[in-house]
Amino acid sequence: MKLFFAVVLSLAVNGLGVPATAGSGRVDIEAVRSWNALALDAVRANRSTDADAARLYAMVNVAIYDAVNGIGRSRAPALVPDRGPRDADEQAAAAAAAHAVLVRLDAARAAGYDATLAADLARLGDSRKVASGAAWGRGVGERVVTARTDDGSTPVETQPAGSGPGVFRAAWSGTQYRNVRPFAVTDPARYVPGPPPALDSARYAGAFAEVAVLGNAAVPAPDLLATYQYWSLPAGSDQPPGEWLKVALTVAGGRHLPLGEQARMTALLTMALADITVTTVSAKYAYRHWRPTTAIREADTDGNPWTAPDPAWSARAGSVGGTPEYVSGHSSYSGAGAAALQGFFCSDAIPFALTTDSAPGGTPRTYPGFSAAAAEAGRSRIFGGQHFEFSNQAGLEAGRSVAGEVLATRLLRLTGPTHFGTCPR
């Protein structure tokens, strides 16, 4: 790896790289967009869990932000507090920082990342600024990886299978994420919601009745199935956090945000997505609530006079679900993603189109704003028979709360006003 960087930097300094574009002397490589696209591909290729995906996205974007912000330093750092060389090229720094994270977290595809970085630096031109930016960015990325090595995301832990009314029945892995060190919030456990409704309550019975109809595989409803599939994002996709990263990049591209603002936006977003993972896994581990399939088939054991068992009931999604029901992870990610972007842009009314990795037929959907997309993503889990509505609402609220703390406290200006109303600056 050191040899690779020595060759790249030598090419940049000695003028042996690809000739620069006539006139400008360089080509903008759109580092935030292109390297996040590679991060999304890494999650797909490795069939990462939603928790592992959110962590990887946060590490890549924290590294990009600290590499760019460290040159000139106008805002608080995310993780790496050092100042970078003032004459360094920011695009080169961003690309090298992302590269340093990805080659370590996705070592099997390192050769591809090496080639991409070499091409990016060559396109930026053969200047000392590019060489300086690449060296600085590489160091920032390496420090981010080192700082997160002992964050609690490994080794993998598993909660054993449970039994009895209200309890999730299968063993599930990834429970170590309830103790992972957060990126931005002070205490993710602060946002763990109170318990789900009591099994013998009217509120539980109402949510039970709703999912028993809307999520029933035996009831034909192509529109509900399509909405579930659109947001399902199973293993092999970019996972729910990745879709909110795609939304951010789409909106930023349409608004032509400068590099520094792109880096801040994606860092705020992905730190919120990573930290809501800790809250979500904590809730699932603590409450261990059963999924609708088990609840409906065994309703004669719940002590509720308003629920009736249906031993043949199956979820529209085709599966029970692999983790405890409360809270909905899709909802918590969506609540955090929508709130982070709404706060960054200081508006929810920003329309966009999105084609998720699991969109039926690859057909895009359009939304009038971030909260509308989050609401649909949350409801899709009821349509699939995967969650109750109270779990959707609790997840959305937890996500909004985590994003609120991230926006209020992180990556703010070092001088002058830090907020425009409630919107960070």
Q: Are residues 24 and 169 in the same domain?
A: no
How far is it, in rounded angstroms, from Cα 64 to Cα 72?
A: 14
Domain of residue 232, CATH code:
1.10.606.20
Q: At what angle do helices 239-255 and 370-383 cross, to 10 degrees?
A: 160
User: Into how many domains does the chain fold?
Assistant: 2
pLDDT at 409 over 70: yes
Whether residues 95 and 231 fall in one domain: no
Tell me: do 90 and 199 sit in the same domain: no
pLDDT at 66: 98
281 with 395, same domain?
A: yes
Residue 291 lies in a domain: yes
227 and 126 together in one domain: no
Q: Answer whether residue 188 is part of any domain.
A: yes
Do residues 397 and 250 both lie within one domain? Answer: yes
Q: Could you report the per-residue pLDDT of 303-334, keeping only the tens digit for each?
A: 999 999 999 999 999 999 999 999 999 999 99
Tell me the residue range of the domain where 38 lies: 2-148
Task: Yes or no: say if 405 and 339 are a contact pair by the CB < 8 Å rule.
Answer: no
Asked if residue 418 and residue 321 are part of one domain, the reply reads: yes
54 found inside a domain: yes
Task: State the number of CA atoms in the 13 A half-sphere of 33 facing the CB.
Answer: 14
pLDDT tens digits along 258-268: 999 999 999 99
Q: In this structure, are residues 41 and 66 in contact, taking their beta carbons and an 8 Å threshold?
A: no
Is residue 61 located within the same domain as residue 197? no
Residue 3, pLDDT score:
39
Residue 143 shares a structural domain with residue 162: no
Average pLDDT over residues 120-128: 95
- State whether 162 and 144 are in the same domain: no
In a domain, 242, yes or no: yes
Backbone angles phi, psi at 167, to 5 degrees: -105, 135
Instruction: Give residues with Cβ within 8 angstroms of 50, minimum separation 6.
Output: 239, 240, 241, 277, 329, 333
Q: Is 134 within the bounds of a domain?
A: yes
Give the per-residue pLDDT at 11: 33
Q: Is residue 226 part of a domain?
A: yes
CATH classification at residue 107 = 1.20.144
| Percent of the chain residues past pLDDT 70, beyond the cut | 94
Is the same domain home to 143 and 166?
no
**CB distance 289 to 189 below 8 Å:** no
Residues 55 and 175 in one domain: no
Domain assignment present for 153: no
What is the model's pTM? 0.93
In a domain, 272, yes or no: yes
The answer to whether the CB of 92 falls within 8 A of the CB of 124 is: yes
Average pLDDT score over the chain = 93
pLDDT at position 423, please? 84
Asked if 40 and 242 touch (Cβ cutoff 8 Å), the reply is: yes
